Structure 1
Amino acid sequence: MAGVTDRPFRQLCKKLGAGYAVSEMAASNPKLWDSVKTSRRLNHDGEIAPISVQIAGADPAMMAEAAVFNANKGARIIDINMGCPVKKVCNVASGSALLRHEDLIARILDAVVSACAPLGVPVTLKTRTGWDRESRNAVRVAKMAENAGISALTLHGRTRADLYTGEAEYDTIRAVKAELDIPVIANGDIDSPEKARRVLDYTGADAVMIGRAAQGRPWIFREIDHYLRTGETLAPPSYGEMRELLLEHLDDHYRFYGEHTGVRTARKHIGWYLDGLPGADSFCARMNLIDNTRDQWRAVSDWFDIISRDGEPYPAPVAEALLAA
Structure 2
Amino acid sequence: MRIGPHAIAPRVVLAPMAGVTDKPFRLLCKRMGAGLAVSEMTISDPRFWNTSKSLRRMDHDGEPDPISVQIAGTEPRQLAEAARYNVDHGAQIVDINMGCPAKKVCHAWAGSALMRDEPLVGRILEAVVAAVDVPVTLKIRTGWDAANRNAPAIARIAEAAGIQALTVHGRTRDQHYAGHAEYDTIARIKADIAIPVIANGDIDSPQRAAQVLRDTGADAVMVGRAAQGRPWIFREIAHYLASGELLPPPAIGEVRDILLGHLQALHAFYGEEQGVRIARKHLGWYAKDRPEHSAEQMAAFRAVVNRAQGADEQLALTRDYFDALEAGMPPTLSDAAWPRAESCFM
The normalised TM-score by structure 1 is 0.95
- From 236, 240, 243, give the equivalent of 1:227: 240
Q: CA deviation at 1:319?
A: 2.6
1:307/1:323 contact within 8 Å kept:
no
Partner of 1:109: 125
* Higher relative helix content: 1
Unpaired segments ≥5 residues, structure 2: 1-16, 336-346
Partner of 2:114: 98
Q: CA deviation at 1:324?
A: 10
Deviations 1:230-284 (A, max 9, x none): 0000011111111110001111111001112111110000110011231111110
Partner of 1:4: 20
Partner of 2:269: 256
Matches within 5 A, 1:240-279: 240-277=253-290, 278=293, 279=297
Q: Separation in 2 of the partners of 1:324 and 1:204? A: 52
Partner of 1:30: 46
Q: CA deviation at 1:149?
A: 0.3
Partner of 2:176: 163
Q: Does 1:319 align with 2:335?
A: no
2:317/2:333 contact within 8 Å kept:
no
Q: Separation in 1 of the partners of 2:116 and 2:320? A: 51
Matches within 5 A, 1:173-322: 173-277=186-290, 278=293, 279-309=297-327, 314=328, 318-319=329-330
Q: Separation in 2 of the partners of 1:323 and 1:259? A: 22
Q: Separation in 1 of the partners of 2:107 and 2:309? A: 34
Q: Separation in 2 of the partners of 1:143 and 1:238? A: 46
Q: Does 1:47 align with 2:47?
A: no
Q: Separation in 2 of the partners of 1:319 and 1:28? A: 50
1:129/1:159 contact within 8 Å kept:
yes
Deviates more, 1:225-234 or 1:290-299: 290-299
1:216/1:270 contact within 8 Å kept:
yes
Partner of 1:63: 79
1:83/1:126 contact within 8 Å kept:
yes
Task: Tell me the amino acid that sits aligned with residue 65 of structure 1.
Answer: E
What percentage of aligned pairs have identical amino acids? 58
Q: CA deviation at 1:197?
A: 0.5
Q: Does 1:122 align with 2:140?
A: no
Task: Tell me the amino acid that sits aligned with residue 133 of structure 1.
Answer: A
Q: Separation in 1 of the partners of 2:163 and 2:118? A: 15
1:23/1:53 contact within 8 Å kept:
yes
- From 132, 153, 158, give the equivalent of 1:140: 153
Q: Secondary structure at 1:133's aligned position in 2?
A: coil
Cα RMSD, aligned residues only: 1.2
Q: Does 1:153 align with 2:171?
A: no
Task: Tell me the amino acid that sits aligned with residue 298 of structure 2.
Answer: A
Q: Separation in 2 of the partners of 1:36 and 1:130? A: 34
Q: Secondary structure at 2:174's aligned position in 1?
A: coil
Deviations 1:288-312 (A, max 9, x none): 1111111011110111112222xxx
Task: Tell me the amino acid that sits aligned with residue 316 of structure 2.
Answer: R
Unpaired segments ≥5 residues, structure 1: none
Task: Tell me the amino acid that sits aligned with residue 81 of structure 2.
Answer: E
Q: Separation in 2 of the partners of 1:74 and 1:323? A: 44
Deviations 1:6-59 (A, max 9, x none): 000000000010000000000000001001111111111111111110000000
Q: Secondary structure at 2:36's aligned position in 1?
A: coil
Q: Separation in 2 of the partners of 1:167 and 1:217? A: 21
- From 27, 37, 49, give the equivalent of 1:21: 37
Q: Separation in 2 of the partners of 1:281 and 1:108? A: 46
Task: Tell me the amino acid that sits aligned with residue 231 of structure 1.
Answer: G
Q: Separation in 2 of the partners of 1:292 and 1:247? A: 14
The normalised TM-score by structure 2 is 0.89
